[in-house]
Chain A
Amino acid sequence: MPDSLTPAADLSALPSAPPAETRAMRLHNFWSDYRQSWVAIGALIVFIMLLVGAFGAPYFVPQDPYDLANLDWLDAFLPPGTVGSGGYAHLLGTDNAGRDMLSAILYGLRTSFMIGISAGVFALAAGITVGLTAAYFGGRIEALLMRIVDLQLSMPAILLALVMVAMLGQGIPQIIFALVVAQYAYFARTTHGAASVERRKDYIEAARSTPLPTWRVMFKHLLPNVLPPLIVVATVQVASAISLEATLSFLGVGLPLTEPSLGSLISNGFKYIHAGRYWLSIYPGIFLMITVVAINLVGDQVRTVIDPRNSR
């Protein structure tokens, strides 16, 4: 240690602050806390594999399930493991149109992810705007916005989504919109809760009395400080958006089988389950379950790590 025996001189500027903490260091700390749980590591690995499988599907699955030219009626209902007319094994079997189930599932997973993630992001943006506005302005605006949110939270999300789809019709953008309407309230509630606490802190008052304009205080000062709990809600909501979408498709109001999601695959296979062709529904169902559980476990561990009550 270099000697700091210099007497009395002005040491008030002595760099007693630790070296600047870099983003890399924070990431490192986050990771070293995250990996405390083996379950969470497993869930993360599964989640990444599912992501790679879904978005990399076109590069390694044997068949493009959207391309009707690839389908052969002779291959219909092949049980898992059978070699079909294409000369390769259908690991998870084929469906009623001779579609390779593994390919269909991975393509379906891609659609599910896309819908779930975009719905999550849009719902996050909408919820943040509503929640921040309510918390920042308070008074009547707050009362009005939060009563609407409460009202919505008291209804089942699936009901709202069904009504929206019934009004808007089928298709990916319509489904995403319906999911956003059904889910933004969760984000609004969480944002409002966190922002109401932060809103009363002195740094907000300091920014307002500088003075800085309202939008700047809201989005540059308030928002970054309410974001962490929202990230957790977002992961869980992505999972719930995926299963909501699957439910809609299963009920037949979601996506048509020409652009299959996991839900429409399950729905399609459901007709044949009593005929012993279990693989048409069971395998997409298993993928859906694994996806939702993996996302929830990852979100849970992120919550544990960033919760200040658990911090050192």
Chain B
Amino acid sequence: MTDPILKIENVSKRFTRMPGLAERLVGKVLGGGKPVTVHALTDVSLSVMQGEVLGIVGESGCGKSTLGRVVSGIYAPSDGRVTLYDKPIARAQGGNVDKLTTQVQMIHQDPFASLNPRMKVGETLSEGPRYHKIIPARNVQQRMRELLEKVGLEGAYADRLPHQFSGGQRQRVAIARALAMEPEVLVLDEAVASLDVSIQAQVLNLFMELRRDLGLTALFISHDLSVVRHVCDRVAIMYLGRLVELAPADELYLEPKHPYTSALFASVPTVGTGKRRFEAIKGEIPSPINPPSGCAFHPRCPLAGQRCSVEAPQLSDAGTNRTVACHLNDGGVGKPLRAAA
């Protein structure tokens, strides 16, 4: 395999909400009114090879969207660094973030929100490339037509406004906008989640085709395990801001190693018939404001032991190209917390 082009090294991201003036005044008297910190990402390291599609999977609050935004240069990491070809993607400047590259482009979940409703599609596509002089000015029109055709739309659609398109067509426009910047890396944040089932297949096919033709490298963020399996080479599973398991897609689906991964697979309904039990994970997803001690999954884990509630597991090797953050893979969990069911 070639060298990684995108490196995410020990990245943490915290969001701190400062209380307003009124809250601080009330807090002085009644207590409280202190800043609240959300630990959205904690010490995440990943690297992505040239031409690889890495899936990021997890439930709400797991930090997958934050990770996507850190990689896209929308947020700067609180700790650690994200680099493309060893150059940082963004830097924090005062309260704002300065994105340093055009090589990473993002595709959002909701194509009804991600296109400027008052800008014609042609302008939406050409604005970035024009500003950054990626395409010579005299070729812009022709290039826009090519791009629209590449994503399965007609070149003549450039004159239309987003509200004249259906959801699937808008998502094609959003893909074209990202491609227009000629990026090295695409970040797709739940890019097919809001589309109808029949349209989802169209957009996935388009993505796989573009990937083959253009050799795209991509971070594919999704909660949908079957979609991720279909398009990704490797998959990272996240839980409450941490990476819990990383493995090649086919191996992961064949044999998940982290108890959370197994539980997640078991609770996904699949198309099939016959009555079946949903093997529910017990309990609720904890809040990232007050994550549990030790392994964040231990309050819900059927296999948790005493060690899990005190010591956070580190990622350790679990076979070739696989890592997992679980004490089961790293010397045992100690005395079981729960009686075996």
Contact = CB atoms under 8 A, between A and B. Distances in A.
Interface of A: 10, 12-13, 15-18, 20-21, 137-140, 201-203, 205-213, 216, 220-221, 224-225
B108 A202 contact: yes
Contacts of B202: 12
Nearest to A141: B95
A209 B72 contact: yes
Nearest to B160: A20
A12 B74 CA distance: 33
Interface residues on B, range: 35 or more
Interface string B110-127: 100111111100000001
B152 A203 contact: no
Contact of A225 (B116, B160, B174): B116
A136 to B, nearest CB: 10
Given A15-B154, A203-B115, A211 B99 contact: yes
A17 B160 contact: yes
A289 B105 CA distance: 56
Contact of A209 (B95, B99, B116, B164): B99
Given A137-B95, A137-B96, A202-B110, A207 B164 contact: no
A185 B304 CA distance: 59
B166 interface: yes
A297 to B, nearest CB: 27
Given A12-B152, A17-B166, A208 B115 contact: no
A209 B154 contact: no
21 contacts: A10-B152, A12-B152, A12-B202, A15-B154, A17-B157, A17-B164, A21-B160, A21-B161, A137-B95, A138-B95, A202-B113, A203-B116, A203-B117, A205-B106, A206-B106, A207-B127, A209-B73, A209-B99, A210-B132, A212-B128, A216-B131
A17 B116 contact: no
A20 B114 contact: no
Given A12-B152, A205-B74, A220-B119, 5 more contacts: A13-B154, A205-B69, A208-B99, A209-B105, A220-B127
A226 to B, nearest CB: 10
Nearest to A208: B74
B200 interface: no
Contacts of B152: 10, 12-13
Nearest to A228: B118
B153 A13 contact: yes
Nearest to B202: A12
A207 B113 CA distance: 12
Interface in B144-199: 152-154, 157, 159-161, 164-166, 169, 174, 177, 181
B114 A206 contact: yes
* Highest count of chain B CB atoms <10 Å: which of A10, A17, A220: A17
B102 interface: yes
Contacts of A208: 74, 99
Contacts of A209: 72-74, 99, 105-106
B131 A212 contact: yes
B164 A18 contact: yes
Given A216-B131, A221-B116, A205 B108 contact: yes
B75 to A, nearest CB: 10
Nearest to A213: B131
B209 to A, nearest CB: 12
Nearest to A26: B161
B166 A16 contact: yes
B160 A206 contact: no
A138 B95 CA distance: 9
A152 B115 CA distance: 36
Contacts of B160: 17, 20-21
- Which of A12, A15, A211, A216 gathers most chain B CB within 10 Å? A211
A166 B105 CA distance: 56
